[in-house]
Amino acid sequence: MKHKRTKIFSGTPWEPKVGYARAVQVGDTVYVSGTTATDPSGKILAPGDAYAQTVQVMRNIENALQRLGLGLEHVVRTRVYLTDMERWEEVAKGHSESFGEIHPATSFVGVTRLVDPEMLVEIEAEAVA
């Protein structure tokens, strides 16, 4: 059985370069690509501030979900990639402010860097409608 794919794009310059969508819905499941603290033009917001970047990442994820008629309450899993694991509590605070009552399954993973060195955190999410 073939499932319909609904794709949401944020308009950042990386989507056409890499060939991906911000979010893809197949059936009741939504996969949100690794999301960083960017504005729609791709400009990185809050350089050097891991907490503020996490808050922006959450806004970007929520925006993608809202365009599919969903919200953060539908998220069942996140994967958090950090360039500096020593700063995990700053990122955890931003994550908890969005998901503290939702309690998705999650992972925190330390990475050497992200696409742009100003990016401190990148988060993937999976949601179920």
| pLDDT tens-place string over residues 32-71 | 999 999 998 889 999 999 999 999 999 999 999 999 999 9
Q: Where are the domains of the chain?
A: 5-128
Q: What is the pTM of this model?
A: 0.95
- Greatest alpha-carbon span in the chain: 47
For residue 85, the model assigns a pLDDT of 97
When pLDDT is cut at 50, 70 and 90, the band that residue 12 belongs to is confident
| Residue environment code for 7-43, b if the CB has 16+ CB neighbours within 10 A, otherwise e | ebebebebbeeeeebbbbbeeeebebbbbbbbeeeee
95-129 per-position pLDDT tens digit: 999 998 999 999 999 999 999 999 999 999 999 99
The domain at 5-128 falls in which architecture?
2-Layer Sandwich (3.30)
